[in-house]
Structure 1
Amino acid sequence: MRLLLIRHGETPSNLEYVLDTGVPGPGLTDLGERQAAALPTALAHEDIGAVFASTLVRTQLTAAPLAVARGLEVTVRDGIREISAGDLEMLRGDSERGELYMRTVFAWSSGRTALRIPGGENGDEALRRYDAVVAEAAALQAGTVALVSHGAAIRMWTAARVDNVDVPFAATHPLRNTGVVVLEGSPSDGWKALTWAGETVTPSGAAGPTGHPVAGP
């Protein structure tokens, strides 16, 4: 199958550079609404048979124009929500404490899934819930499925589960609002990334920085 992982449109918290992961979360800025409205045209070449969004308002607002354009309902699932920041909630992502968020997230992708974000979830919990929604999407046999999700969650899950995306690549490639990662494969056979925000995926294969923490929420 073909899986499109789409980051939500811009939110006020993105502008403030803070870790805002709580449910239901903020809505979209004016730019975020325009980004969402542009998705149907940007993805006109994709034969999308199902659209999923997380339990956070920003993903549902982003998914709505795409679903309407395709005559589909948005399936809302908690499993693809943003990774909970726990005690780090609403800290600036570039603060000394806030940087712990993405360091922990990418440690999960490297296999250290028992680590826990203070007051939040661990990697086993985050991967399990995301895997469950991907498996549900694959079981639909809808051809191409769009999952409107969140930056940190997408980068963490792809680095952990996609054959040709490693941690250095995901860490150094923040996903802009309404950026799309195109995957091909299945839960049983594995996944390959075809493009990341329009660019062919070429993993770095070398150690790199952990990227900006705010690039997730």
Structure 2
Amino acid sequence: MRLLLVRHGQTPSNVEFLLDTAVPGPGLTALGERQAAALPEALADEDIEALYVSTLVRTQLTAAPLAAARGLDPVVRDGIREIAAGDLEMLPGDSEQGLLYMKTVFAWAEGDTALRMPGGESGEEALGRYDAVVAEAARSGAGTVAMVSHGAAIRMWTAARAGNVDVAFAADRPLDNTGVVILEGSPADGWKALSWAGAVVAPAGEGGPTGRPV
């Protein structure tokens, strides 16, 4: 299966670099709406057969133009929502406490899945829910699946599950709003990342704390 993991469009909390992870979350900025509108053309070469979104409003708004262009009904799944910040919710992502968020996320990707986000979920729980949605998509038989998800969750899951992406790579390469990570494989055989934001090595950019390097 070809798996496209798409980060949502820009939100007001991204502009302010806040760890805003609660459901349903904010909508998109004007720039975020333009980013969403550009997705159908950006993914024009992809034969997308199924489209998944999280329970956060920003992913559903981001996916709407793509869904309309392809005639797809987005499948809403809580498993691909953003990693809950717990006690760190709404803190600046570049503050001392805020930086603990991404450090915890990447510790999970390195295998310390018993570690728990302060006041939030463990790595085992976060990876488990994401794995479940990917497995569901694989069982659907679709050749290419797009999932509009979230920056920290995409970077963590890819670093943990793609054989050719390690934590250092994911930590050094932020994923901008509507950036795409493309993988190929299956839950049984494993995953290989084919591209990260359009290239094997993407330049660092902005777009919110979960899109920034640590």
* SS state at 1:48 partner: coil
* Aligned equivalents of 1:121, 1:63: Cα separation in 2: 26
8 Å Cα contact 2:13/2:208 also seen in 1: no
* Aligned equivalents of 1:145, 1:86: Cα separation in 2: 30
Unaligned runs of 5+ in 1: 203-211
TM-score, normalised via structure 1 length:
0.93
Corresponding position of 2:152: 152
* Alpha-carbon distance, 1:215 to partner: 2.5
Calculate percent identity across the aligned residue pairs: 76
* Aligned equivalents of 2:108, 2:159: Cα separation in 1: 9
8 Å Cα contact 2:80/2:129 also seen in 1: yes
1:215 and 2:210 aligned: yes
Corresponding position of 1:205: none
Code of the residue aligned with 1:122 in structure 2: it is S
Corresponding position of 1:136: 136
* Alpha-carbon distance, 1:142 to partner: 1.1
* Alpha-carbon distance, 1:183 to partner: 0.4
CA 1:215–1:141 in structure 2 vs 1: closer, same or farther (change >3 Å)? same
Code of the residue aligned with 2:50 in structure 1: it is A
TM-score, normalised via structure 2 length:
0.95
Code of the residue aligned with 1:74 in structure 2: it is P
8 Å Cα contact 1:92/1:98 also seen in 2: yes
Corresponding position of 1:97: 97
Deviation digits for residues 21-73 of structure 1 (CA, Å, limit 9, x no counterpart): 00000000000000000000000000000000000000000011111111010
Unaligned runs of 5+ in 2: none
Corresponding position of 1:178: 178
The list of structure 1 runs, each at least 4 consecutive aligned residues, that deviate by more than 4 angstroms after superposition, is: none
Over aligned residue pairs, what C-alpha RMSD do you find? 1.5
* Alpha-carbon distance, 1:216 to partner: 4.5
Deviation digits for residues 139-166 of structure 1 (CA, Å, limit 9, x no counterpart): 1111100000000000000000001010
Q: How many residues align?
A: 208
Corresponding position of 2:8: 8
8 Å Cα contact 1:102/1:213 also seen in 2: no
